[in-house]
A and B are shown apart, each in its own frame.
Chain A
Amino acid sequence: MDDPGVVRQAWQEHVDEELGKSDLPRALSSGASCDELRILEWPAAPTRIRRCLGRARADRLCDATGGKLDGRAAFHEEYAEWQLIRSGGRPVRFELTTELPDYWELLAERAPGRVLELISAFAGREADSRSIFEHPVPSDLSATERREGFGRTVLGMGGCNVFGPYNGSEALTCLRHPSNRLGAVLSLTAAASAPMMVGDRDRDERRPASGSEILAASGGAGRGLRSSDPLIAERLARLAGEGRAMRFEAPFGVDITGMQLSDVLLPGGEPIPSEWLTLSRAAGSELDERPRYRRLRLEVDEPGLDLGDLRLRRTGKAPLYGAELAELVQVALAVRVSDRDCVPVETTFVAPASVDRERWCEGIEAKTAEFEEGTS
């Protein structure tokens, strides 16, 4: 990532500070050496919404825009958000980001010139500072004023929940769903990074708790039925159960680990060229010799063709909604772990539980009804 070193340093300090505010389990606070890499990976399409509403309805709503109601802000909750840009009703470009808003707030505070440079690149033209910082000359503002202005215009904060053009119609800048923030990831991590077992009488055995069981017992950290939260919770709890110390791979963030281009087909049935996929916003360190990207763009580079001419292997049809492409994108948290048995294991026992669909779907239908009224 070519962001200024001062911002990267401030980001790491900020992450450490936020982690320090939690009552961290031993696994996360131990000083043991952590060298082994573990990649906690999930697909970017929002599973909870699909399972609560049905896939067809969920995918349509995830792409919807209209006035104050925004499918992305309402439903993209897997630490990844996208836009499917259309022209003349046909899909022409797919963009996805995993960049945390908390990082961009720091960038706005400390490197406003870099913010303007990046957003101009995302928008494909020079960005208007007034629509980002609420001022034509951001250097005339204090760091706090820049952060707050950025928060209102780009992140929809301050109660208005209306997003300016540079994180909506003109450009995809960073995550903005309220769940897709640093605090949400860290509180989930703190809740899950302790060994949890289930004494399952039905099976006459003890077994590691599943992701949904951990979230049910976690007191509000994370949401079941998602692709992300149950997986993160379960993997971390299992690692803790092995007595491993853990730390997040720096710089902290959610990475794009790949897209299944083999499932996006040309009209003749062959996979599309990999050159049509652009990955950017590399994090500056690597996972198993692979760069850590946080931004993705898919666009056809062939005259006379656009995304609407392609076919998805899984449907046999052209992509209709962004979620169908997001499903092919894998995003991940990277964790470094120590050897086994480095940290004393103090196991918590939780109750066995099936996935409580009613609990995790609560409120979705009401939000959806409101949304559908607003966009009809």
Chain B
Amino acid sequence: MKQGESDLQDGIYIPGRKPRRCFLLLTADFEGETSPDAACAALAEITETLTRLRAGEVADLRATKPGDRDEPIMAETIDFMLGYGASFFTRGFTSAEAPHGLVALQHPATPTASIPWAEGVQARAGEGDICLQLTGDREHAVARGAVEIWKTVRDRGLPVDIRTTYSGFARDDRRSWLGFHDGVSNICKPDRRGAIECGGDPDWNRGGTYMAFLRLQVDLEGWRELSRVQQEVLVGRDKLSGQALAGVDIGGGDLRPRPFPLEPETEASKQPAFVDPPETGDAIVEASHIHRANQSRASATTHSAHRIFRQGFEYLEGIEAGEPSLGLNFVSFQAELEHFWQVLGLHDWLGGVNFGGRNSRGFGEPPALQLTTLRAGGVYAIPPRAAPFPGARLCA
């Protein structure tokens, strides 16, 4: 349990904070010859713009002639968070060493143990010296935040190259494009700070956190070729109710996923097995996605539980030539990046398969499917709140 006010930046849904429905991640680099002082001055300016925007002030709507008055917009429509990528440290904008695990993703080599790059993805897609996560309840609010950053960079001649933006949204049905419930088996609210907040190694990030971002493209067509049974075996839940599977029975050459019984008087989504699927002892179920993502089932304060707090947003880039390009902006926060790398790297966790299932498949079990590929990704340090901007200590 963490006591006292949190210094975590906005946009992370710990108790007392309102989750937002829309997401935008903006990545940027500093121009080639930028000095550390100039980089930090730019960060102060960008932070100032976003702080004013959050308060309802837009630079273009300030009074400019006698008789004018400032025209405010609705306040508190966005949250913003500033992060520092691996290249901020390797390019020398700070004398501090990069924290453990804060590295550039391999390219063109496979960036994680089991998720390859999508075709055509360029190096450093999803990475930057800095990132800004904008979240809000309306798409236009987060979009406006990105545009205001662009205006600030242009109008003040800041030495910043905005690389790209990635957008996404939360669904109101708590399901993903796969059709299954997603994000329900997450760290419960009282435990989030303990799992997210950096303990002070390095000291400049004490009270801050680390963010991992993976823009995962989903092969929806390939997924839909699987039967419902096969999908349930890979995910580990009943497709309709969302109830976790207790076992997979084998009979007559068929697999029959068996969910935990539903308590009749309680809403499905509030049942213990739904929210925190217990260990089953069934080898097929234990290899499913939801179990691979949390093999230890220990509490968030137990280090080797490798608990990460997930706060992802779906995306649809579009449908072109009859093919949808869609997937998940996987976003996780964790006290140490070691946990992220362990979850994605351990063979019995998500390092051994692209999504779920057993490596040695039995009769009737779904075939090995490369369900996800990576369109962009990066890991970032998210320092605690500070004046004039989070991470200002890196500039000292």
Contacts and interface: CB of A to CB of B under 8 A. Distances in A.
Interface of A: 36-38, 41-43, 47, 50-51, 54-56, 200, 202-203, 208, 210-212, 225-228, 230-231, 234-235, 238, 242, 257-258, 260, 262-263, 265, 268-271, 288, 313-316, 327-328, 330, 337, 352, 354-355, 357
Contact of B109 (A258, A265, A330): A265
A54 B206 CA distance: 12
B183 interface: no
A247 B345 CA distance: 30
Contact of A210 (B109, B301, B348): B301
Interface string B345-366: 1111001000000000000000
Contact of B201 (A55, A210, A212): A55
Nearest to A54: B201
Nearest to A262: B113
A352 B1 contact: yes
B304 A262 contact: no
B109 A270 contact: yes
Contacts of B86: 316
A194 B305 CA distance: 20
Nearest to B203: A54
A210 B302 contact: yes
B338 A316 contact: no
Nearest to A37: B281
B154 interface: no
A101 B163 CA distance: 56
A211 B300 CA distance: 10
Given A228-B304, A314-B337, A354-B2, 7 more contacts: A36-B281, A41-B295, A51-B201, A56-B97, A211-B302, A231-B304, A260-B113
Given A316-B104, A357-B199, A47 B109 contact: no
Given A212-B301, A354-B301, A314 B103 contact: yes
Contacts of B302: 210-212, 230-231, 234
Q: Is the interface of B mostly helix, strand, loop or mixed?
A: loop
A238 B297 contact: yes
A110 to B, nearest CB: 35
B46 to A, nearest CB: 27
A211 B194 contact: no
B179 interface: no
A235 B294 CA distance: 13
A235 B103 CA distance: 32
Nearest to A352: B1
B367 interface: no
A227 B303 contact: yes
Interface in B169-226: 190, 194, 199, 201-202
A52 to B, nearest CB: 10
26 contacts: A38-B279, A54-B202, A210-B302, A211-B301, A211-B302, A212-B302, A226-B303, A230-B298, A230-B303, A230-B304, A231-B298, A235-B296, A258-B348, A260-B342, A260-B345, A260-B347, A262-B113, A262-B345, A263-B345, A269-B109, A270-B109, A288-B283, A313-B103, A313-B345, A315-B100, A355-B301
B341 interface: yes
Q: List the 10 closest pairs (A to B, CB-CB), nearest first.
A: A269-B109, A262-B113, A42-B304, A210-B299, A36-B281, A227-B304, A211-B302, A316-B103, A54-B201, A230-B302
Interface in B312-362: 337-338, 341-342, 345-348, 351
Nearest to B278: A242
A228 B305 CA distance: 10
A210 B303 CA distance: 11
B56 interface: no
Interface of B: 1-3, 86, 97, 100-101, 103-104, 106, 108-110, 113-114, 190, 194, 199, 201-202, 278-279, 281, 283, 295-299, 301-305, 337-338, 341-342, 345-348, 351
A260 B296 contact: no
Contacts of B348: 41, 257-258
A316 B346 CA distance: 18
Contacts of A268: 109
Contacts of A242: 278
A262 B351 contact: yes
A42 B351 CA distance: 16
A93 B281 CA distance: 37
A141 to B, nearest CB: 42
Contact of A315 (B103, B295, B299): B103
A309 to B, nearest CB: 16
Contacts of B199: 51, 357
Contacts of B346: 258, 260, 330
B281 A43 contact: no
A227 B347 CA distance: 18
A143 to B, nearest CB: 38
Contacts of B3: 354
B1 A202 contact: yes
B101 to A, nearest CB: 5
A235 B1 CA distance: 20
A311 to B, nearest CB: 9
A235 B279 CA distance: 11
Contact of B106 (A50, A208, A269, A357): A269
Which of B97, B100, B114, B202 is most buried by chain A, counting CB atoms within 10 A of its CB?
Answer: B100
